[in-house]
C-alpha cells in the first residue's frame, strides 16, 4: 500500500514561526516528503483533521495546492502500476520532483528574467523583477504550480497591493506582467488553458487616466523664440538646453504640434 497525505511539518519551523506544508508519501514503511512551497502558522492548522482551519489566510488557495499535488502523485502511482514498474517512496518522490522541475511560478519568472538580461532589455527586466519580488512578498513563496494562481489568489493579491499604497496603474503593470508569465507557462505546457484565470479576472480594469503634464505649444514657442540679444549667460544656456532637448527627443510627434513649432522658429522639417 502507498499512502499520500498532507502534513503540517512542525519539526522544522521557519524563521517567521510558520510551519511548512508537505505531502507525505509512505510505502513499505518508508516515508518521504514533497514540499508544497507554502507554510502557515500553527494556530491556523487543524492537526486533528489535518487541514487548514476556516480562519486560515489563503485557505482556499492552500487547499487547492494540496488537492492538486496529491492528485499529481496519485496519478504517477497509477501510471507506474499500469506499466508494472517497481517503485519505492524515494524513487516516486524523485520522479515527481524531476517532472515538476521547471513547473513552478518562481522557475518561469526567474527563467524569463535571465532571458531579458541576455537580451539587455534592462528596463523591462526591472519591471518583471519588481513584479516577482512583490508576489514573493505577498505569498511568502512562489514555488507553486501555475494552477495555484486562480481568481481568488488574484483578488487577494490585488487587495494586498492596494494596502501597500500602490497606484492603479502600478497594480495594472504588476498584473500584466503576471499574465504574460502565465501565458509563457501555457506555451510550455506547464498549465492547462482551461485554468487560465485572466478570462474571468480582467486586467483591463486596472487602469487610471493620468493627468496631462505637457505644456502648451504657445509655451514651447515662447522659450524657442525667446530674445537672446540682451540675455545673460545662464538664460541663454537654459534656452539652448531646452531647445536642444525638445528638438532631439522631446517633441510630441503630432501633426498640429510639429507644424506650428517648425514654421514659427524657422527650422527645416526633416
Going by pLDDT thresholds of 50, 70 and 90, the confidence category of residue 265 is very low
Instruction: Say whether pLDDT at 147 is over 90.
Output: no
Note the pTM of the prediction, 2 decimals.
0.49
pLDDT confidence of residue 214: 72
Do 94 and 110 sit in the same domain of this protein? no
Report d(CA 146, CA 100) in Å as an integer.
Answer: 11
| pLDDT tens by residue, 16-70 | 888 999 999 999 888 998 888 888 899 999 999 989 999 998 888 888 889 888 8
In a domain, 164, yes or no: yes
Report d(CA 78, CA 92) in Å as an integer.
Answer: 11
Domain of 124?
105-205
Output the nine-digit C-alpha cell for 67: 488537492
Residue 23 Ramachandran class (φ > 0 left, ψ -120 to 50 alpha, else beta): beta
Instruction: Say whether pLDDT at 268 is over 60.
Output: no
Name the domain boundary from 99, 118, 140.
99
Total number of domains constituting the chain:
3
Number of H helices, E strands in the chain: 9, 5
Give Cβ neighbours of residue 260 (< 8 Å, ≥ 6 apart).
Answer: 217, 221
Do 155 and 224 sit in the same domain of this protein? no
In a domain, 269, yes or no: no
Amino acid at each position: 500500500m502507498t499512502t499520500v497525505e498532507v502534513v503540517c511539518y512542525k519539526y522544522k519551523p521557519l524563521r517567521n514561526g510558520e510551519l511548512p506544508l508537505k505531502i507525505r508519501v509512505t510505502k513499505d514503511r518508508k516515508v518521504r516528503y514533497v514540499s508544497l512551497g507554502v507554510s502557515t502558522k500553527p494556530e491556523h492548522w487543524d492537526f486533528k483533521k489535518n487541514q487548514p482551519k476556516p480562519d486560515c489566510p489563503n485557505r482556499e488557495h492552500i487547499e487547492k495546492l494540496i488537492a492538486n499535488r496529491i492528485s499529481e502523485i496519485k496519478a504517477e502511482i497509477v501510471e507506474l502500476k499500469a506499466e508494472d514498474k517497481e517503485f519505492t517512496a524515494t524513487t516516486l518522490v524523485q520522479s515527481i520532483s524531476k517532472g515538476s522541475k521547471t513547473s513552478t511560478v518562481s522557475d518561469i519568472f526567474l527563467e524569463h528574467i535571465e532571458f531579458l538580461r541576455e537580451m539587455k532589455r534592462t528596463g523591462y527586466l526591472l519591471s518583471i523583477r519588481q513584479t516577482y519580488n512583490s508576489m514573493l512578498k505577498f505569498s511568502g513563496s512562489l514555488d507553486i504550480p501555475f494552477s495555484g494562481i486562480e481568481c481568488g489568489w488574484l483578488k487577494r493579491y490585488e487587495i494586498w497591493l492596494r494596502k501597500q499604497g500602490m497606484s492603479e496603474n502600478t497594480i495594472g503593470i504588476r498584473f500584466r506582467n503576471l499574465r504574460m508569465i502565465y501565458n509563457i507557462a501555457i506555451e510550455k505546457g506547464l498549465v492547462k488553458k482551461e485554468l487560465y484565470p485572466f478570462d474571468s479576472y480582467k486586467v483591463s480594469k486596472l487602469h487610471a487616466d493620468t493627468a496631462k503634464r505637457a505644456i502648451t505649444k504657445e509655451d514651447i514657442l515662447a522659450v524657442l523664440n525667446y530674445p537672446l540679444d540682451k540675455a545673460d549667460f545662464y538664460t541663454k544656456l537654459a534656452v539652448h538646453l531646452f531647445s536642444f532637448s525638445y528638438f532631439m527627443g522631446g517633441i510630441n510627434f503630432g501633426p498640429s504640434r510639429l507644424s506650428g513649432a517648425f514654421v514659427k522658429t524657422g527650422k527645416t522639417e526633416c
